[in-house]
Chain A
Amino acid sequence: MKENEKPEKGNQIIEEAAQAEYKYGFVTDIDTEVIPKGLDEDVVRRISALKGEPDWLLEFRLKAYRHWLTLKAPTWGHVHVPEIDFQDISYYAAPRQKKPGEGPKEIDPELKKTFDKLGIPLEEQLRLSGMAVDAVMDSVSVKTTYRERLAELGVIFCSMSEAVKDYPDLVRKYLGKVVPYTDNFYAALNSAVFSDGSFVYIPKGVRCPMELSTYFRINAAQTGQFERTLIVADDDAYVSYLEGCTAPMRDENQLHAAIVEIIVEDRAEVKYSTVQNWYPGDKDGKGGIYNLVTKRGLCRGDHSKLSWTQVETGSAITWKYPSCVLKGDHSVGEFYSVALTNNWQEADTGTKMIHLGKNSTSTIVSKGISAGHSQNSYRGMVKIAPKATGCRNFTQCDSLLLSDTSGAHTFPVIEVGNDTSVVEHEATTSKINEDQIFYCNQRGIPTEDAVGLIVNGYAKEVMSKLPMEFAVEAQKLLSVSLEGAVG
């Protein structure tokens, strides 16, 4: 009640938050094999050689590299990506695992410790819930759990490098088919230098019995992470896939330019959930990850379904639009997103729903939350091709502002090519309500917790789409990311 109490308390909270907010900011001290900074054809060849790749893949990389040289970085996003010196980045960093005298499946204790610290146990027997994990540190996959058990069902879940060796025909058949290297600047770059990532193949008629997940960790300094994930769900297959990511706190920015491609065949369903918690930079906007990724799924089969759910709290800059190309008749695309930005973070995220198949439907629910001095944009496209009759789209796009100095923006594009399709778009912008906060205060709930509660309530529709274990984690993350957001 004292007049001068509020700002003081606010400052104190912000200070505490700045010190404590990002708990994954540690660095693992491990011997890392890094190729020198810079990018040219030799570097591309060297990455390919290090991984022992077949010629066709090297060709793919080189074509992508040559195409990339002709492109310029996109500037249409509502984000300020500084000019990146692509010659000042190392494109390959592999933790050198110590495993003298042990079997090839043992992993370095130092790496195991790192993932334990991140809450990602790599020991299968230690896991309570059945979730298979592919753990990727910098440029390589460290360990994939439950591979054997999944293989009994014909499910392939392994690192991309292993997939290239063990299932070259499958990889060759699908790689670059949804996101060609010509797609955009960062997709071309990724196609040239991608290092590792996950490969998933669910055969016909198989419902994958456990959640599959990839955990991405950037550790080495002055490197970029360029991983590539490819998921194929054959006819009548089902898989739920989770992606998590963190990085150490560093003053310089680091680049993460990934590609995710998904192919969904007849009557198959893929659920892809992301909890993105890359280091967002400090409270003054110093450091943090540039998260510039291309994610797209092709619902190729009739009655196929792809559902994207993302909770975005990290990164200094986020530029990503997980999209669905709805080619099959009666195919279904969904996008559920919570994007929270605090301090000086910038996010430009959304989706594209491209309706090519008849009677295809899509749903978009986007919840943006902006705090501090951050900028948060929703960018979406709903396109219905002239021949795609009877399509439906529903878009709901809400923005919540927690400060006067943050911004919320929406850039929707709607193109409907026939008159039997229906597109609905709803949008709201609101400020966090002081009456709500005081109501919580009066019941004994401090402001910080009240904001967390209110924001989680606001995002509930999206959070409820996440798998259970993930949802709890994501709720905590939303609250933590908001620390100091309201003074």
Chain B
Amino acid sequence: MLVIKDLQASIEEKQILKGVNLTVKPGEVHAIMGPNGSGKSTLSAVLTGNPAYTVTGGSVEFYGKDLLALSPEDRAHEGLFLSFQYPVEIPGVSMVNFMRTALNEKRKYFGQEPLSAADFLKLMREKRSIVQLDNKLASRAVNEGFSGGEKKRNEIFQMAMLEPRLSILDETDSGLDIDALRIVANGVNTLKSKDNATIVITHYQRLLDYIKPDFVHVLYKGRIVMSAGPELALELEEKGYDWIKEQVDAHQ
């Protein structure tokens, strides 16, 4: 579904991604790990079209389409979802209003009629339960006054509502206590199917105890420098990143 070839990107003239290659197929879970500043969050920002970044080379194909040519909202409609590391607050805009706008935009993109208020609220109730969000939370303003755990659960709730084909979870485990982590991971696993895929960006093995990856990649200095099975995550947990850094830096 996703084919990234030699992707290069910069922010404010600073080159961050220096040639990323990655292929993701339906049903797969990929973990992207790496030390701070290696470009993990940049990769998610570039894939979703954050205008703060400039693509300077390479290509990304998503279900045969040139992803980089699409606007951020069209990428979302095509089924790309980002669970933000730091979900923003939008004061005064209720979650109901926000999600309804988002969902109806997607339906419009596919030539469908907007959902009726009743159907929408029913869907919302149904999806809310996946991450155990209560009714009050959903009627509050987007992320406003949410705790760290609530914000992350709210991200997965939105993922459930929009039913993406490819979800990128950007450090979804950061700032979560163990209970919240379990709820979030359960949510992600519930939504998993043979038709969708997940990219999990994380520092730690911890999240991967709950969301089992098929592949683990190490991103370092803007490139994927190592790819292997789930055992790599355990190895990194034990040994840290220094041995990989040494290997890579020795080659340069």
Chain A residue at minimum C-beta to C-beta distance from B82: A442
What are the interface flags for B89-106 relative to A under an 8 Å C-beta threshold, 1 for contact and 0 otherwise? 011110001110111011
**Chain A interface mostly:** helix
Q: Does B114 contact A (CB under 8 A)?
A: no
- The contact string, 1 if C-beta is below 8 Å from chain A, for chain B 132-146, is 000000000100000
Q: Give the nearest-CB partner of B101 in chain A.
A: A445
Does residue A433 face the partner (Cβ distance < 8 Å to B)?
Answer: yes
- A453 to B90, alpha carbons, bound, how many Å? 9
**A residues 414-463 touching B (CB-CB < 8 Å):** 433-436, 438-446, 449, 453-454, 456-461
The docked-state distance in angstroms from the alpha carbon of A438 to that of B46 is: 12
A221 to B105, CA, bound (A): 41
- Is A6 interfacial (CB 8 A cutoff)? yes
| The one of A439, A453, A459 that contacts B97, using a Cβ cutoff of 8 Å | A453
| Also in contact, A438 and B72, with CB within 8 A (given A1-B55, A444-B102, A445-B102) | yes
- Contact yes or no, B88 A435, CB < 8 A: yes
A residues near B81, Cβ cutoff 8 Å? 442
Interface centre among B91, B99, B109, by most chain A C-beta atoms within 10 angstroms, is B91
Q: Is B88's CB under 8 angstroms from A436's CB?
A: yes
Task: Please judge, given known A-B contacts A1-B49, A2-B69, whether A444 and B105 are in contact too, CB under 8 Å.
Answer: yes
In this assembly, does B128 line the interface, its C-beta being within 8 Å of a C-beta of chain A? no
CB distance A453 to B93 under 8 Å?
A: yes
Q: Is A284 an interface residue (CB 8 A)?
A: no
A3 at the interface (CB under 8 A from B): yes
Contact B77 A444 (CB under 8 A): yes
Residues of A near B72 (CB, < 8 A) are 438, 441-442
Give the Cβ gap from B33 to chain A, nearest Cβ, in Å: 23
CB distance from A401 to the nearest CB of B (A): 16
Residues of B close to A436: CB separation below 8 A: 88, 90
A458 B92 Cβ-Cβ under 8 A:
yes
User: Are the CB atoms of A449 and B55 closer together than 8 Å?
Assistant: no
- Inter-chain contact A1/B68, CB cutoff 8 Å: yes
Q: Are B90 and A444 closer than 8 Å at their CB atoms?
A: no
| A441-B90 contact in complex given A3-B54, A434-B52, A453-B97, C-beta closer than 8 Å | no
Q: Are B162 and A444 in contact (CB under 8 A)?
A: yes
Contacts of B172 in A (CB 8 A): none
Contact B90 A439, beta carbon cutoff 8 Å: yes
Q: Which residue of A lies closest to B93 (CB)?
A: A457
Q: Which of A2, A434, A443, A445 has the most CB of B within 10 A?
A: A443
Q: Which residues of A contact B105 (CB under 8 A)?
A: 444-446, 449
Contact A446 B69 (CB under 8 A): no
| Contacts A441-B76, A457-B141 given; does A433 touch B88 at CB 8 Å | yes
Nearest residue (CB) in A for B106 is A444
Task: Determine whether the beta carbon of B73 is less than 8 Å from that of A446.
Answer: yes
24 contacts across the A-B interface (CB closer than 8 A): A1-B46, A1-B51, A6-B51, A435-B88, A438-B51, A440-B102, A441-B73, A442-B48, A442-B81, A443-B162, A444-B76, A444-B109, A445-B73, A445-B101, A446-B105, A453-B93, A453-B101, A454-B93, A456-B93, A457-B91, A457-B93, A457-B141, A460-B91, A461-B92
Chain B residues near A (Cβ < 8 Å): 46, 48-55, 68-69, 71-73, 75-77, 81-82, 84, 87-88, 90-93, 97-99, 101-103, 105-106, 109, 141, 158, 162
The 10 closest A-B pairs by CB, nearest first: A457-B92, A457-B93, A460-B92, A441-B72, A444-B76, A443-B102, A444-B105, A435-B88, A439-B88, A444-B106
